[in-house]
Amino acid sequence: MHKTRYGISHWLDRYSEVHKVRNARFPRHKGNVDLDVAIIGGGLTGCATAQAFAASGVRVGLVESDRIGQGASANSTAFVMQEPDIDFQDLVTSFGLRAARTIWEMTRRAALDLPRVIRHLKIKCDLESQDSVYLASDKVSGKRLRQEFDARRKAGFQVRWLTADRVARETNLRAEGAIRVSGNAEVDPYRLCLGLARSAVAHGATIFEQSPVKRVRRFRNHVQLFTERGRITAGHVVVALGDPTGLFKPLMRHFRRTHTYVVVTPPLGARVCRELGRRNTMIWDTQEPYHYLRWTRDDRIVFGGADQAPTNPRRRKKVLIQRAGQLMYELSTHYPVISGIQPDYAWDGPIVNTPDGLPYIGPHRNFPRHLFALGFGGNGLALGFLSSRILLRHYLDEPAKGDDLFSFSR
């Protein structure tokens, strides 16, 4: 009898099945350690930052409270998207056309550079270059999406408009129209985190996992991080948690937290796949909350959405089961051929947003010798990689055009 694995990420379970003996582990922190830079957080952002700093000759260490890559990164759908988690029209309204174009160019460059780094470091993480299709779910959203297309094209970005007929031919989905963008990608996020962490270690970084930071103390010329078994002294600390957590309570009011839900089907047979359109396209729609869909190499559908405010932890499993059933029903309305199929995996993951939809990256005036990377929304991989580059530039005091657009003072 088929049994859904609730609360288990497909990426983690797949890795543990393939690497039963070689499951990578990093040591727990103990004793006293001196560093130039200490990083809190072992997800994609923390691992990419550790790799960038170490490759630049910085004495860097990373501390993760649980296991490397097994938090929000492993619970994502792992899109590498050029678009920040906000429409271009909204960016123009909030920041003006010139700044909006700069922001878009920076996230686009990050989405293109991350695959280059993956290939250069020879990280095996199922990297696939993919087009993305942004669907209009109804006539009202179709009109707005057409305006979004016109705004992007007028700003000089490479986009294509797909008519309803073209959408149906390419995706076997009904829509009022869609924007197609080339040059995005998808990955296995857990193996990507491990690959970046290993590269960081190869360049001299120190990585500790299962070592929660209990307290951070600031001094004039350094900071100290305290774990259960020791102390880390560093010139600067990078907070790459996505969410400020209890360590930085004064910052928590700047963020809005939701949970997103994901289901993964079993591998679908050849007959079913033939009725589901192209499998080399990532899809998301204009619904509120929006949905996103991608394929895996073994012909599974990864389908997510149904976002809502975080629930009471005691109800989390019950809500997950309900949301998973909702997602499978919604998926079957798009693709009736999969009706009755139960998911192999279903899990939830945190989404942390800022009021204007852009992450905060860089220093904060109330926290000397701290650098932050917080609030990535639904595009954590590209924005996390972008954060690693902005943070390194801040540390080296070599700011680039546009870095200030992600600052706390924007």
Cα 148 from Cα 142, distance rounded (Å):
10
Cα 3 from Cα 1, distance rounded (Å):
6
Residue 154 has pLDDT above 80, yes or no: yes
Quick: pLDDT tens for 181-226: 999 999 999 999 999 999 999 999 999 999 999 999 999 999 999 9
Quick: pLDDT tens for 157-181: 999 999 999 999 888 899 999 999 9
* Residues 345, 263 contacting (CB under 8 angstroms): yes
Average pLDDT, rounded, for the chain: 93
Q: Cβ atoms within 10 A of the Cβ of 396, count?
A: 11
Range of lowest pLDDT (194-198, 243-247, 323-327, 405-409): 243-247
| CA distance to 29, 128, 337, 385, per residue, from 182 (Å) | 43, 12, 28, 19
Quick: pLDDT tens for 6-65: 999 999 998 876 655 455 589 999 999 999 999 999 999 999 999 999 999 999 999 999
pTM over 0.75, yes/no: yes
* 266 CB-near residues (< 8 Å, 6+ apart): 2, 300, 341, 342, 343, 344
Cα 409 from Cα 77, distance rounded (Å):
31
Cα 13 from Cα 2, distance rounded (Å):
16
The residue whose two tokens read 């031919």 is 169
pLDDT of residue 384: 96
Range of lowest pLDDT (69-73, 177-181, 275-279): 275-279
- Reference 77, options 268, 272, 305, 287; nearest CA is 305
pLDDT of residue 17: 65
Backbone angles phi, psi at 120, to 5 degrees: -60, -40
| CA distance to 65, 218, 305, 323, 401, per residue, from 288 (Å) | 33, 42, 9, 15, 33
Quick: pLDDT tens for 333-371: 989 999 999 999 999 999 999 999 999 999 999 999 999
- Give the pLDDT mean for 72-93: 92
* Residues 157, 178 contacting (CB under 8 angstroms): no
| CA distance to 51, 114, 141, 285, per residue, from 307 (Å) | 32, 27, 19, 13
What number of residues does the chain have? 410
* Residues 80, 132 contacting (CB under 8 angstroms): no
Q: What percent of the chain has pLDDT over 70?
A: 98
